[in-house]
């Protein structure tokens, strides 16, 4: 990839973050921003998958699962109630 020009507004934002001492370099800030975007994308995809599972009936209410666990493993009752 080649160098790309940054808008004055973006340059000011980078300078402000650098002046605050939050990052050692502009490169570190950009890497962390890209990492944060990837984490956000992953969380959104995971949420979408979870919602699709709910809609498909693949999820069960916690109360029901908890009740079944307690019946099978009575010693878990105290831990699950906490």
Question: pLDDT in tens for each of the 82 residues of the chain?
Answer: 678 899 999 999 989 999 999 899 989 998 999 999 999 999 999 999 999 998 999 988 888 888 888 888 888 777 776 6
CA distance 2 to 79: 56
Is the pTM here over 0.75, yes or no? no
Rounded to the nearest angstrom, the gap between the alpha carbon of residue 72 and the centroid of all alpha carbons in its chain is 34
The H or E element that residue 64 is part of is: helix 62-72
Count CA atoms within 13 Å of residue 73 on its CB side: 8
Q: Helix or strand or coil: residue 40?
A: helix
């Amino acid at each position: 990839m080649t160098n790309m020009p940054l808008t004055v507004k973006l340059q000011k934002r980078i300078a402000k973050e650098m002046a605050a001492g939050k990052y050692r370099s502009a490169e570190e800030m950009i890497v962390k921003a890209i990492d944060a975007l990837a984490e956000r994308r992953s969380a959104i995809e995971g949420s979408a998958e979870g919602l699709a599972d709910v809609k498909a009936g693949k999820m069960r209410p916690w109360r029901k699962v908890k009740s079944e666990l307690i019946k099978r493993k009575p010693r878990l009752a105290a831990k699950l109630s906490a």
